[in-house]
Amino acid sequence: MNIHLHDVPLQHRDIAEFLGIDNYIKFCEIFGGDNIYIPTKKTLINSIRNKEINMLYFKGYTIKELSRKYNLTNSSIRQIIKKP
């Protein structure tokens, strides 16, 4: 059976256009029926930043130094280094 872009429900058509119909079909085969959260670019960037903060903290940087370097409050730095 051939599936075409016009067969895709309207609310998913942007995704199908972006991925291409063949990749969209594969995506449906793998994730069909699941609820999927797609992070924002900012979330991805913050995740990388938080890993850097943790690495630098365990290398000996102080909370105050990290706060200045990343333009975050001391409290925010503490929250980041508490997370596993």
State both tokens at 20: 């291409």
10-59 tens-digit pLDDT: 999 999 999 999 999 999 999 999 999 999 999 999 999 999 999 999 99
Q: Which residues fall within 8 angstroms of residue 25, CB to CB, at 6 or more apart?
A: 3
Q: Which residues fall within 8 angstroms of residue 63, CB to CB, at 6 or more apart?
A: 57, 74, 77, 78, 81
Q: Which residues fall within 8 angstroms of residue 66, CB to CB, at 6 or more apart?
A: 53, 56, 57, 72, 77
On the question of pLDDT at 1 being above 70, the answer is yes
Determine the pLDDT at residue 83.
73
Task: Count CB atoms within 10 A of the CB of residue 54.
Answer: 17
